[in-house]
Amino acid sequence: MTALEGRAISDNTEIIGILIIEGYPIIPFSCVVDSLRAANRLSGKELYHWQYFGPDEQPVSASCGITVPTRPLSEASNLETLVIVAPNTAQDFDDAATIRQLRALDKQEVNLGSASSGSFILARAGLLDDCRCTIHWENIPVFKELYPHIDVAFTLYEIAERRFTCSGGTAALDMMLKLIENQYGRQLAQQISQQFQHDRIRTEIDSQQMADRIDLAMSAPKLIDVINLMENNIEVPLSLPSIAEKCNLSLRQIERLFHKYRNVTPSQYYLSLRLTHAKQLLLNTNRSVIDISIATGFETQSYFTACYRKHFGSSPRNHRSQVATERKG
């Protein structure tokens, strides 16, 4: 038995640390904690024991204002797993002490993972270099720009040896259920899923933004192929004839599909994807407007600015300035 915080912890109990960063989202945090709690209750055993950590000794507040008392990560001991729950601004997190402690935990062979944007922090620490990971779809453009050498996927979650990441929100529940299933079997994971009125445990191959495309899965699967091709070719956009050839469709077929299921032309949809990508880079990195225009396939900055203003109602520079002011306030 190991004494921990005045309690006797069984040798068979996994000790899990939950590192929360100021402004963390409450939904993935709850998914992590409640899945562990339910696993203990439904199994009748203390399979897991968890502790809350922060970068220092200060309590940490969620984006909704709920505050959790924490211990400094430097005091973590006997951990087998650490889960990071961080806000979508985690690309700016640069606490050197926390980064050092994460690297030290890795050397101790602690399993390290993220239930939200903590993938940014793991990447900054150099702890995702050799594995595939994921993060929320809004953060993928920025993540790719900051860490082009890391394989980041559009999946709900990714589980590798001693690493696990997810796209945030309720995907954290699916990831935790899969981790529990890997340890204790499908039956317990399904019981937990049923307790939370979760109709199924989504798999690693499920893609983000499924709600946007589930209507296409049966009625227009070829359109999904076209959209995926567009999403994977933002910096150097493909011509529509090239897309048609790669998807074994005619231009007329592609036009009909977009008109029927998205009520836009293929060119309008592709442009919208590129501008949305540009918006994420603009608001979450310090890259210049001209660099962003090049990264999203625009031949000139003036054309990019005109398209951006028409799509979002503001020029790139004004939009960046406005959002920066709002964040400071």
Domain co-membership, 301 together with 181: no
Domain co-membership, 56 together with 184: yes
Total domain count, the chain: 2
List the CATH number of the domain containing 219. 1.10.10.60
The whole-number pLDDT of residue 326 equals 77
Q: Which two tokens stand for residue 58?
A: 């200060």
Domain co-membership, 253 together with 187: no
* Residue at 204 is within a domain: no
Domain co-membership, 187 together with 222: no
Are residues 156 and 204 in contact, defined by beta-carbon separation less than 8 angstroms?
Answer: yes
- Using H for helix, E for strand and C for coil, what is the string for 114-143? ECCCCHHHHHHCCCCCCCCEECCCCCHHHH
* Whether the predicted pLDDT of 2 surpasses 80: no
Work out the average pLDDT over 227-240: 92
- Where do the DSSP E strands lie in the chain? 2-4, 7-9, 14-20, 48-54, 60-61, 67-68, 71-72, 81-85, 111-114, 133-134, 152-153, 157-160, 163-166
Whole-number average pLDDT of the chain: 90
Domain co-membership, 169 together with 33: yes
**Which residue, of 142, 163, 195, is where some domain finishes?**
195
C-alpha–C-alpha distance, residues 162 and 129, integer Å: 13
Q: Which two tokens stand for residue 4?
A: 């921990």
First-to-last alpha carbon distance for the chain, in angstroms, is 50
Domain co-membership, 107 together with 168: yes
Helices and strands (H and E) in the chain: how many: 15, 13
Query: Smallest Cα–Cα separation from 277: which of 129, 133, 154?
Result: 154
Domain co-membership, 173 together with 301: no
Domain co-membership, 214 together with 191: no
* Residue at 322 is within a domain: yes
Domain co-membership, 216 together with 97: no
**CB neighbour list of residue 76: distance below 8 Å, 6 or more residues apart:** 17, 51, 53, 82, 101, 105
**CB neighbour list of residue 94: distance below 8 Å, 6 or more residues apart:** 124
**Which residue, of 147, 162, 195, is where some domain finishes?**
195
pLDDT-above-90 percentage for the chain:
74
Domain co-membership, 36 together with 164: yes
**Which range of residues forms the domain containing residue 36?**
2-195
* Whether the predicted pLDDT of 213 surpasses 90: no
Q: How confident is the model at residue 328 (pLDDT cuts 50, 70, 90)?
A: confident
Domain co-membership, 240 together with 271: yes
Using the structure block, give the residue that is written with the tokens 């001991």: 77
Strands 152-153 and 48-54: unpaired
